Amino acid sequence: MTLPDKETILRTLTKIGVAVSRRDLIDAFNIQGENLRLTFKQTLKDMEDEGLLVREGGQSYRIPDALPAMTVIEVTDMDIDGDLFARPAEWQESLQGPPPRLEVVPDNKGHAALKVGDRALARLKKIDSSLYEAHIMKRLDTPAQRVVGNVCQGKGGYTLAPLDRRAKQDYDISERDLGGAKSGQIVVCEIQPSRRGSLRLKVRVLEIVGQADDPKAISLMALHELGLRHSFPETVLASTDGMVVPPLGTRADLRDIPLVTIDGKDARDFDDAVFAEPDTDPHNIGGYHLLVAIADVAYYVRPESPLDKEAYERGNSTYFPDRVLPMLPEKLSNDLCSLRPDGPRATLAVHMWIDKTGKLLRHSFVRGLMLSRARLTYEQVQAAREGNPDETTRPIMENVIEPLYAAWKILDAARVERGALDLDIPERKIVVDDAGRMTGVAVRERLDSHRLIEEFMVLANVAAAEALEAK
């Protein structure tokens, strides 16, 4: 069964209107089994910690009927008289519904005047169920707010029309704050401090993205609008200075093994390399030795380092049709941690031995140095397999490509035998011309070379899972 989510729990308790015991909630949602009940109890505890629920009498829960006396608020808008209104900064509208309205009481204690977007610690006084007075105790630092929009010129001067359709108003731009921008251009602006009584906020241009009708500006518009980190702080870039491929030392020397990378034509980084050969063990006739190697990123990105923290903030690399926002600086993502065939690379690799039925017999993880023999594409490898090798694949057909396919055939037969799910769903790609304009939509062909890499990586992850379980 599916446990109720937080929104469902809140909606149910709101409808009931009184405190409900944990046992009654379990019965109401028909939660069966000890494990599910424990998970549900933990959800209630988490909601209590988040301020979404209040516990009464030890085991009963209800919706909070009031905000805490002291809370952090965020100023959201200003009326025609210059009065400010706010909302609780941590309010989760998707879970808690519309936030109560907080009327900011004019401050007479010398604090700096608040403006839309500011945050402050406030003492609240309840007026009614949906209205509070917010008495400012301390203004909190607020990052500069930015907005992406289209510069427009009218009789009254320049304005910025935000790209975000949820925006409630346009912004004024004085000529001195245009920064060279012209009407029709997409720009990134910083919201300026507003004067009390001003009906519309002003902005200052920080960066010109490009013409609104330029396809190549679309990616820039998207990354700015989504708040993606498109540049690295100097401290992060500085931390890569002096980084080089490590010496062999105690690492396993894999440089004589003809590992190759197989990726798409438009791949920008090369994360993994593969190799296969018949197992020479007389007790494993028909079996194979496989090797999957990935870049040893952990060697360069140490826990709690500037690189580690920046990668955590980014979460992943983000790909656009014409650019990529890497999770790590280019020196790592496109050089030291990219398995290019232009020199040795630090690697984390797993040796795997399978029998003739595809059963994983044993595995061994090593940190080593490798040297890629070739950067291959799926189409290139498939063509070679079908009898049309080129100058890159012809010399490595016998000792690299043929053994890879032989090992894959065994793994593929084992996959079919165990009834593994095979989602052979056509993948579509948008085709653009050199100017960045869309010219069509094509179906990306799925080749045996794609399946080969998939099976090798699945097996490597099975080996990783077994290694972790053994610890």
pTM for the predicted model, two decimal places: 0.63
Residue 5 pLDDT exceeds 50? yes
Residue 235, pLDDT score = 86
Residue 245, pLDDT score = 94
Q: Give per-residue pLDDT as tens, 338-358.
A: 999 989 999 999 999 999 999
Question: Which is higher by pLDDT, 452 or 146?
Answer: 452
Side chain identity at residue 14, one-letter code: T
- From the list 204, 115, 196, the residue with the least C-alpha distance to 158 is 204
Domains of the chain, CATH where assigned: 6-62 (no CATH), 70-140 (2.40.50.140), 146-225 (2.40.50.700), 252-469 (no CATH)
Question: Which is higher by pLDDT, 289 or 232?
Answer: 289
Residue 110, pLDDT score = 46
Q: Give per-residue pLDDT as tens, 296-329.
A: 999 999 988 889 989 988 888 888 877 788 999 9
Residue 252 pLDDT exceeds 90? yes
Residue 195, pLDDT score = 59
Residue 279, pLDDT score = 96
Residue 162 pLDDT exceeds 90? no
**Taking all residues of the chain, what is their mean pLDDT, rounded to a whole number?**
86
Residue 111 pLDDT exceeds 60? no
Question: Which is higher by pLDDT, 411 or 16?
Answer: 411
Sort 360 into a burial class: Cβ within 10 Å, 0-12 / 13-18 / 19+: middle
- Read off the pLDDT of each residue in 226-250 and give the average, rounded to a whole number: 87
User: How far is residue 458's CA from residue 456's CA, in Å, rounded to a whole number?
Assistant: 6
Q: Give per-residue pLDDT as tens, 420-439.
A: 877 777 778 777 777 777 78
